[in-house]
């Protein structure tokens, strides 16, 4: 017990904190739900007690938690030098982010995975191809929603974003497919901080079962594509591209391809669906924001020569207030407690030592809810973004991560959200029927959901 509570540090002193109980550390305290958009009490209380940098133990791993802007900025710039990208054990296992298939690999493997994702979901692809397709998908989805008496937004938004992304990646036909893989994917987030105990009845066991089914389905898909190389069977999607590269990129095994697609799929839809769900709650509670958002998009329609034409890239770039709304939703809607890195060597920060091998949690949510940076931080105030300095934003606003590991889907998510808002306020009207409770455990959730009724505009 003494050794557990007083871990060794051979070079300097550890930050203050508590390691909790043997094996489980302080994990249980982190999993206690908090019914607020505010910083989870586990982190907030320890910042008040120990300062912005402290030590703890989560799911059996020693962790240094940092809510210090300068320390966080430094850590994120050390990728490939003194730190490496890291996922906690259960999450790594479920997405295959370990061993040969680990997406955190440096060098050529990371460059390839990032490049292939950007080529299909990055800025140029959005501008040249994806924007009208997203608008078409959103319009079709909202028409479907309008045929129902009630829609639970989180589930429906997850399905919309997931199905569109899967179509770009491997031509997934969600309307005719018997494999509703989105439902299995939505279970994964609940395993983010679970103990990797593969015992019947545990959350991890159920998640692992779903994961195995998805992996098998995707492996079968890869094998089928490889066995049918004829041009007429090719879809021109990301999967075809990767299979074509297998001859030149030797690390591209079938296992690697499957787990890379799993990671990209997961990254693509969770943030977007959470933010869209939160938007319905906050827009219903702040009609002045909805009014200005609607006015901006109606002005776009009035300035068109053809009212029925598709959304253009110039129109998207003109959505100033929409971007402010999106940023404010992203600031308040952190889905995870932080960004994880692992120290490759001893690191000196603020007079303390982060020992080699320890996990570092960069608490981006603490920065985005800091009252010294964002006045009245729990208020939903999109107008605050008019006057914020770009340097302050760069160090205190990182909804898509930071450093060289910033999420390649950042532009994709922003375009998807802006397009959704455009279609929603110009072609439809909606009312919130019930729900709106938000909790963190520490992942953000919506209790019984947010339920809305959608109808087309006359």
Least trusted range by pLDDT, from 69-73, 286-290, 395-399: 395-399
CATH of 2-456, one of 3.30.10.20, 1.10.10.10, 3.30.200.20, 1.10.630.10: 1.10.630.10
Query: How sure is the predictor about 380, in pLDDT bands with cuts at 50, 70 and 90?
Result: very high
Q: Pairing relation of β-strands 450-456 and 428-435? A: antiparallel
Once rounded to an integer, what is the mean pLDDT over residues 35-51?
92
- Domain boundaries, given as residue ranges, for the chain: 2-456
Q: What is the rounded distance in angstroms from the CA atom of residue 183 to the CA atom of residue 305?
A: 42
Cα 35 from chain centroid (whole Å): 20
pLDDT (0 to 100) of residue 102: 46
Tell me which residue of 435, 445, 427, 437 sits closest to 145, measured CA to CA: 427
Is 99 a residue whose pLDDT tops 50? no
pLDDT (0 to 100) of residue 425: 96
Supply the DSSP symbol for 238. H
Per residue in 247-302, pLDDT tens?
888 888 888 888 888 878 877 777 899 999 999 999 999 999 999 999 999 999 99
Percent of the chain topping pLDDT 70: 89
Return phi, psi of residue 237, to 5°: -100, -175
Whether the full predicted model's pTM is greater than 0.75, yes or no, is yes
Q: Taking a C-beta distance cutoff of 8 angstroms, is the pair 293, 322 a contact? A: yes
Three-state DSSP state, 287: helix
Tell me which residue of 292, 328, 297, 294 sits closest to 311, measured CA to CA: 297
Three-state DSSP state, 309: coil
Q: Taking a C-beta distance cutoff of 8 angstroms, is the pair 211, 94 a contact? A: yes
Q: What is the rounded distance in angstroms from the CA atom of residue 192 to the CA atom of residue 183?
A: 16
Mean pLDDT of the chain: 86
Q: What is the rounded distance in angstroms from the CA atom of residue 80 to the CA atom of residue 66?
A: 19
Residue 385 exposure: Cα atoms within 13 Å on the Cβ side: 20
Three-state DSSP state, 453: strand
pLDDT (0 to 100) of residue 188: 59
Helical ranges in 228-253 per DSSP H: 238-244
Contacts (Cβ under 8 Å, ≥6 apart) of 290: 283, 284, 425
pLDDT (0 to 100) of residue 234: 60
Is 100 a residue whose pLDDT tops 50? no
Is 191 known as a binding-site position? no
């Amino acid at each position: 017990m003494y050794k557990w509570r007083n871990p060794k540090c051979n070079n300097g002193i550890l930050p203050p904190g508590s390691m909790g109980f043997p094996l489980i550390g302080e994990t249980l305290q982190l999993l206690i739900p908090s019914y607020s958009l505010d910083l989870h009490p586990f982190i907030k209380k320890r910042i008040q007690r120990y300062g912005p940098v402290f030590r703890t133990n989560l799911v059996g791993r020693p962790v240094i938690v940092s809510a210090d802007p300068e320390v966080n900025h430094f850590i994120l710039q050390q990728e490939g030098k003194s730190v490496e990208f890291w996922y906690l054990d259960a999450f790594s296992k479920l997405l295959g982010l370990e061993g040969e298939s680990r997406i955190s690999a440096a060098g050529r493997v990371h460059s390839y995975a990032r490049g292939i994702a950007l080529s299909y979901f990055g800025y140029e692809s959005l501008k040249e191809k994806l924007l009208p397709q997203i608008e078409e998908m959103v319009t079709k989805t909202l028409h479907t929603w309008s045929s129902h008496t009630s829609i639970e937004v989180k589930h429906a938004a997850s399905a919309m974003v997931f199905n569109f992304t899967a179509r770009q990646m491997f031509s997934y036909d969600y309307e005719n497919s018997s494999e509703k893989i989105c439902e299995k994917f939505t279970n994964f987030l609940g395993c983010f901080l679970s103990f990797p105990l593969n015992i019947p009845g545990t959350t991890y066991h159920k998640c692992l079962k779903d994961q195995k089914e998805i992996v098998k389905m995707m492996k079968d898909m890869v094998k089928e594509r490889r066995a049918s190389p004829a041009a007429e069977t090719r879809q021109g999607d990301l999967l075809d591209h990767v299979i074509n590269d297998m001859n030149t990129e030797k690390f591209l095994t079938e296992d690697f391809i499957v787990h890379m697609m799993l990671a990209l799929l997961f990254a693509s839809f969770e943030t977007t669906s959470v933010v869209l769900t939160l938007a319905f709650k906050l827009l219903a509670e702040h009609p002045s924001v909805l009014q200005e958002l609607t006015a901006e998009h109606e002005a776009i329609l009035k300035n068109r020569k053809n009212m029925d034409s598709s959304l253009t890239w110039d129109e998207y770039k003109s959505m100033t207030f929409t971007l402010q709304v999106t940023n404010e939703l992203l600031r308040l809607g952190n889905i995870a407690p932080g960004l994880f890195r692992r120290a490759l060597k001893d690191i000196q920060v603020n007079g303390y030592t982060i020992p080699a091998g320890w996990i570092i949690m960069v608490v981006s949510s603490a920065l985005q809810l800091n009252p010294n940076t964002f006045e009245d931080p729990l208020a939903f105030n999109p107008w605050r973004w008019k006057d914020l300095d770009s340097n302050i934003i760069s160090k205190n606003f990182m909804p898509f991560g930071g450093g060289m590991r910033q999420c390649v889907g950042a532009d994709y998510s922003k375009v998807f959200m802006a397009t959704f808002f455009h279609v929603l306020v110009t072609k439809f009207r909606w009312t919130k029927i019930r729900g709106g409770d938000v909790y963190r455990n520490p992942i953000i959730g919506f209790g019984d959901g947010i339920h809305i009724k959608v109808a087309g505009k006359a």
